[in-house]
Structure 1
Amino acid sequence: MERAHAVEDISFELARGEILCVVGESGSGKSVTANAIMGLLPKSIHVASGEIRLGGANILGLPPGQLRDLRGRVVSMIFQDPLSALNPLMTVGAQIEEAMAAHGVGTRASRRERALALLAEVGLPDPWLMIHQYPFRLSGGQRQRVMIAMALALEPSILIADEPTTALDVTTQAQILKLIRDIQRRKGMSVMFITHDFGVVAEIADSVVVMEKGRVVEQGSPAKVLKTPTHPYTRRLIAAVPRLRSEDRANAARDSAAPLLKVENLVKTYRSGSALLRSLRVVPAVQGISFQLAPGRTLGVVGESGSGKSSLGRLLIRLMDADGGRILFEGTDIAPLGERSFRSLRPKVQMIFQDPFASLNPRMTIGTIMTVGPIAHGMAPSQARDEAHALLAMVGLDAGAYGRYPHEFSGGQRQRVGIARALMFKPKLLVADEPVSALDVSIQAQILELLDRIQRETGVAMVFITHDLRVASQICDEIAVMHKGRIVEQGPPSQIFFNPRADYTRELVAAIPGEQAEARPAVAVQS
């Protein structure tokens, strides 16, 4: 049933110098609330009643000119996806300077000096080089730092951060959280931090607001909300948060089974630019990777962005060619096979992509998306249709999903479609590339439970690529930790997370948000 209001009867206070975390699932109204404060609501949405008081004055209904004067100078915002929020045609320096120029602050020289200082303040290396870079040349963590620098350019009193760490790896996430907390304390800013990760709440919050379906259902101190929640919705969210498991996953499949997949000394190097023009860039993405995987078991591949995880996944399903090494699938080396030779094996090796919306054709119905591949490989249309209906039911979608389009589904539902599509061929190997990284904790828990059930029922082997170590401990039988293209440590989750041998693994575990919160003194709420 659709609700009449995006948000309804929302009331909360953000005190001076406080970090307020707003928590809830997708669709709970968190971002709508933030955009209403910034005066950035789309034309299709308007505020029917209520007030937003800033320094005692109601800012709702202010003329556009006065709102523009407030934005950036008094209230500033860090958006969830920095790549889409940054202008791809402008250098990062020009974008930071533009915020100051729009408010008539300083001269061109002083704005450039201020931009360099901001880039250094947010921890970006070589600011004098970084200032000339375009957004696409930066990593996700670096782009997020640029967004923070832009938001801080005019030293606002209030900073709104909308899911700024959702898709970042644990170490980058820890750096960004520390950066926001340090800047907030140093400048005495008030911060409204929107998130669906209770680990982040435990890490930085002074007070918490929990939202469900457009309403505030609970608010209070982090200790009260996290340890003694009163609302059933809050309790469900906290129960769904993945935690590091000290016991390894119970799995009927045995390591002693003959390996389905055996990887030996796999190598992939990216080259761009020109040696002649002295712009040649060589990036060793995968360096001598070796492992094996038995049927019915899951190998987790963890590491920071740029560690080579996704490159390894693309090599395994032959979306790109390896420079060296062997990929033995059921005893056959598939690494040197051309596309024509590999085509007959492709149904046996399937992938679940990170972004189900980008990987689903928006012009096709779910039924067509699921059946077009099997029909192309010789399956009768009637059989493909029956298989699709059965798999949609298996992943928890109703029969009506078959005739609908991807945009009609939520993120979690689209990911279920992606899983069902991958299972249409009855594969023996699934490569899951960050399949739950952008999902709410409750949806994430459902997808992990679904993958676990499917594996137990079908015996499919999985390579599960993730940057979330808590997720990896829930679903993986073995963990391989990647760093700069190499596996630095491999073993069962209990050993990797509770007795790591490599320094890099210890750094990853220490960076998990919320895991270390108990050891830190509480931060007093400022009024």
Structure 2
Amino acid sequence: MTPQYQTDGATGPALSVRGLTIDLPKDMERRHAVEDISFDLQDGQILCIVGESGSGKSVTANTIMGLLPSSIRVSAGEIHLGGAEAGELIGAAPATLRNLRGRVVSMIFQDPLSALNPLMTVGEQITEVLTAHGVGTREWQRARVIELLTEVSLPDPQLMYHQYPFRLSGGQRQRVMIAMALALEPKILIADEPTTALDVTTQAQILHLIRDIQRRKGMSVMFITHDFGVVAEIADSVVVMEKGRIVETGSADAVLKSPSHPYTKRLIAAVPALTGENRAAASNAAPEPIIRVEGLGKTYRIGSALFGGEYLVKAVQDVSFEIGPGRTLGIVGESGSGKSSLGRLLVKLQDGNGGRILFEGRDIVPLSDAEFRPLRPKIQMIFQDPFASLNPRSTIGHILTVGPVAHGMDYPKARKEAQALLSHVGLDAGAFERYPHEFSGGQRQRIGIARALMFKPKLLVADEAVSALDVSIQAQILELLDQIQRETGVSMIFITHDLRVASQICDEIAVMQKGRIVEQGPPSQIFLDPRSAYTRELVDAIPGRMPAEARLSALN
């Protein structure tokens, strides 16, 4: 029997969740992924669900979409879809759910690389959504896809239509996912951390785009996030979750101005603040740089010269900098600016087209793989996409210990150090025997950080190392990296799109635009007195720079 839900006016909620409980497999750290949660997504409004990694936000979203893995099951509760497509979603036939997905309820997934088909071009994947629901002719579909790629601010949509996901940056892949979800302008949009991987200017564009479409089409949005800056920008109402339970609900204005639960207060307090203060130099700092980069360049060739469709993309152009022991250089810029390409060049995951990389005085650019192998433990990388960089067939223990053991460390010692690092990054001892798919996106990122630290490297290249983490864990990881740096003297190249984070951990910051460094200096210069117009645009787009009262007034 369907319960009588409270309604907002004559239409009622677009989606109602009542008493939902989802069981986890045995031997997990807790019994339920979510336990007895109830909330309404009102028609034509934006509901933000906020909480730390592992709080049950994504599990709730996947349950609504009918995408739960077989190891997790709903043991109680109901999810009722309102409006013209009214019906109960739990227990619905697979054909019914397929008909609703994309057309009525659509989802932007947290991990774009694993959600996109690596064997299909971007254009083919978005077109597939339209074709599956029999919408439009082939010519109309192509025009619609180009329109969507333009709407989400992807560069050169005509070229992007023919690209494969692996050729795109993390932020660009996320925008493709957003375009795909909006293709049929669904009545309900579930957005699972859709702006986490985006730079500040693109984040503002995407939030504006979602809000604009939501208002024009009367769409209801369930927006999952850990960033209260995003909540202040777009939310009508807020649900705060902790360890599978709802601890606070209310309007965005009420929750932001007068949070009642201690957990909500902690989350708001943990949001990183922009600081223009320069870091004190480490006591073990030395004048000789650990790494010096001179005129580094990387050009990608895309397409085929044989058929006249070859394009040259200058990802890195004449980049030069140096870092001393125990110092951190932040690399900031928009998605596609060349930050990640620069990181891969520094750890020799790809070869450049010119320039030198002097590591401890030795140029590593001309070294073969065999010659560079003894140096690889000294230069480690924390990758942007933790799911793609972790072997799904290996336990976390094996992932963390296989490298050190291969380089001569005894397994008992490697196991002990791995377990200690897991504890340091906020994971319990049971994580050692589990597999990557059993962890949330933020938890997988912490595993990637622990793996890099296993080698006690001299240079750590962190590519968006905290972008997938909630604000409280993010603060812990930044503190951990700072502590490790001061204890060991490791140098860091910290690649990030979040300028607030860069201001807290970096000694010097380099701003990249279209493959070039357009400005470089200490945080006091970059954030308080930027000299480049591009840098000023980035700083002005930082969430939280606007006074709280002004940001909250935008909700009205």
TM-score (norm 2): 0.83
Q: Does 1:250 align with 2:280?
A: yes
The residue number in structure 2 matching 1:45 is 73
Q: Which runs of 5+ in 1 are unaligned?
A: none
Determine which of 205, 215, 224 is the counterpart of 1:194.
224
The residue number in structure 2 matching 1:16 is 43
Cα distance in 2 between the residues matched to 1:412 and 1:120: 30
Q: Does 1:359 align with 2:389?
A: yes
The residue number in structure 2 matching 1:30 is 57
- What secondary structure, in the 3-state scheme, does the structure 2 residue paired with 1:160 have? strand
Q: Which moved more, 1:15-24 or 1:132-141?
A: 132-141
Q: Does 1:59 align with 2:88?
A: yes
After superposition, the C-alpha distances for 1:29-76 in whole angstroms (9 at most, x for unaligned) are 222333333344445423622452513954345555554444444333
Determine which of 486, 499, 503 is the counterpart of 2:533.
503
Cα distance in 2 between the residues matched to 1:441 and 1:325: 38
Query: Does structure 2 conserve the Cα–Cα contact (< 8 Å) formed by 1:82 and 1:144?
Result: yes
1:212 CA displacement: 1.6
After superposition, the C-alpha distances for 1:160-206 in whole angstroms (9 at most, x for unaligned) are 22221122222222211111111122222222211122121111112
The residue number in structure 1 matching 2:305 is 275
Cα distance in 2 between the residues matched to 1:26 and 1:441: 9
Q: Does 1:184 align with 2:214?
A: yes
Query: Does structure 1 conserve the Cα–Cα contact (< 8 Å) formed by 2:343 and 2:461?
Result: yes
Cα distance in 2 between the residues matched to 1:515 and 1:249: 21
CA root-mean-square deviation: 3.3
Cα distance in 1 between the residues matched to 2:134 and 2:394: 49
Q: Which moved more, 1:65-74 or 1:470-479?
A: 65-74
Determine which of 461, 466, 469 is the counterpart of 1:431.
461
The structure with more strand, counted as a fraction of residues: 2
Query: Does structure 1 conserve the Cα–Cα contact (< 8 Å) formed by 2:378 and 2:458?
Result: yes
Q: Which runs of 4+ in 1 moved over 6 A?
A: none
After superposition, the C-alpha distances for 1:280-305 in whole angstroms (9 at most, x for unaligned) are 33222221111111111111111122
**Which residue identity does 2:43 align to in structure 1?**
R
Query: Does structure 2 conserve the Cα–Cα contact (< 8 Å) formed by 1:254 and 1:294?
Result: no
Cα distance in 1 between the residues matched to 2:481 and 2:398: 23
Determine which of 442, 447, 453 is the counterpart of 2:477.
447
**Which residue identity does 1:284 align to in structure 2?**
K
**Which residue identity does 2:35 align to in structure 1?**
E
Q: Does 1:484 align with 2:511?
A: no
1:467 CA displacement: 1.5
The residue number in structure 2 matching 1:469 is 499
After superposition, the C-alpha distances for 1:416-460 in whole angstroms (9 at most, x for unaligned) are 444444344433222222211112222222111111111111111
After superposition, the C-alpha distances for 1:65-107 in whole angstroms (9 at most, x for unaligned) are 5544444443333333444444455555555555455445555
Mapping of residues 159-238 of structure 1, within 5 Å: 159-238=189-268
Cα distance in 1 between the residues matched to 2:42 and 2:496: 37
Cα distance in 2 between the residues matched to 1:84 and 1:201: 26
Question: Residues 165 and 480 from structure 1, CA distance in 2 versus in 1: closer, same or farther, beyond 3 angstroms?
Answer: same
Q: Which runs of 5+ in 2 are unaligned?
A: 1-27
**Which residue identity does 1:258 align to in structure 2?**
E
**Which residue identity does 2:350 align to in structure 1?**
M
Cα distance in 2 between the residues matched to 1:494 and 1:220: 38
Question: Residues 189 and 10 from structure 1, CA distance in 2 versus in 1: closer, same or farther, beyond 3 angstroms?
Answer: same
Q: Does 1:522 align with 2:550?
A: no
Query: Does structure 1 conserve the Cα–Cα contact (< 8 Å) formed by 2:107 and 2:190?
Result: yes
**Which residue identity does 2:333 align to in structure 1?**
G
Question: Residues 383 and 467 from structure 1, CA distance in 2 versus in 1: closer, same or farther, beyond 3 angstroms?
Answer: same
Determine which of 277, 282, 289 is the counterpart of 1:259.
289
**Which residue identity does 2:220 align to in structure 1?**
S
Cα distance in 2 between the residues matched to 1:128 and 1:413: 37
Cα distance in 1 between the residues matched to 2:108 and 2:63: 14
Cα distance in 1 between the residues matched to 2:508 and 2:306: 45
Cα distance in 1 between the residues matched to 2:415 and 2:104: 56
Q: Which moved more, 1:263-272 or 1:479-488?
A: 263-272
**Which residue identity does 1:203 align to in structure 2?**
E
Q: Which moved more, 1:145-154 or 1:320-329?
A: 145-154
Mapping of residues 305-454 of structure 1, within 5 Å: 305-379=335-409, 384=414, 388=418, 391=421, 406=436, 411-412=441-442, 414-454=444-484
Which of 1 and 2 has higher RCO (CA within 8 Å, sep 6+)? 1
- What secondary structure, in the 3-state scheme, does the structure 2 residue paired with 1:306 have? coil
Question: Residues 505 and 41 from structure 1, CA distance in 2 versus in 1: closer, same or farther, beyond 3 angstroms?
Answer: same
- What secondary structure, in the 3-state scheme, does the structure 2 residue paired with 1:26 have? coil
The residue number in structure 1 matching 2:328 is 298
Query: Does structure 2 conserve the Cα–Cα contact (< 8 Å) formed by 1:481 and 1:489?
Result: yes
Cα distance in 2 between the residues matched to 1:399 and 1:8: 24
- What secondary structure, in the 3-state scheme, does the structure 1 residue paired with 2:374 have? coil
The alignment of Structure 1 onto Structure 2 pairs a total of residues equal to 525
- What secondary structure, in the 3-state scheme, does the structure 2 residue paired with 1:237 have? helix
Question: Residues 400 and 504 from structure 1, CA distance in 2 versus in 1: closer, same or farther, beyond 3 angstroms?
Answer: same
**Which residue identity does 1:268 align to in structure 2?**
K
Question: Residues 233 and 267 from structure 1, CA distance in 2 versus in 1: closer, same or farther, beyond 3 angstroms?
Answer: same
Q: Which moved more, 1:279-288 or 1:368-377?
A: 368-377
Question: Residues 263 and 225 from structure 1, CA distance in 2 versus in 1: closer, same or farther, beyond 3 angstroms?
Answer: same
Cα distance in 2 between the residues matched to 1:291 and 1:468: 21
Q: Does 1:285 align with 2:312?
A: no
Cα distance in 1 between the residues matched to 2:159 and 2:351: 33
The residue number in structure 1 matching 2:23 is none
Cα distance in 2 between the residues matched to 1:364 and 1:155: 40
**Which residue identity does 2:499 align to in structure 1?**
L
Question: Residues 161 and 416 from structure 1, CA distance in 2 versus in 1: closer, same or farther, beyond 3 angstroms?
Answer: closer
**Which residue identity does 2:77 align to in structure 1?**
S
Cα distance in 1 between the residues matched to 2:299 and 2:37: 52
Question: Residues 82 and 317 from structure 1, CA distance in 2 versus in 1: closer, same or farther, beyond 3 angstroms?
Answer: closer
Question: Residues 323 and 18 from structure 1, CA distance in 2 versus in 1: closer, same or farther, beyond 3 angstroms?
Answer: same
1:326 CA displacement: 2.2
Query: Does structure 2 conserve the Cα–Cα contact (< 8 Å) formed by 1:253 and 1:297?
Result: no
1:234 CA displacement: 0.9
Mapping of residues 83-122 of structure 1, within 5 Å: 83-88=113-118, 92=122, 95-96=125-126, 98-105=128-135, 114-115=144-145, 118-119=148-149, 121-122=151-152
Question: Residues 420 and 79 from structure 1, CA distance in 2 versus in 1: closer, same or farther, beyond 3 angstroms?
Answer: closer
TM-score (norm 1): 0.87
Cα distance in 1 between the residues matched to 2:141 and 2:412: 65
1:401 CA displacement: 5.5
After superposition, the C-alpha distances for 1:348-387 in whole angstroms (9 at most, x for unaligned) are 3222233344434445555544444444444455655565
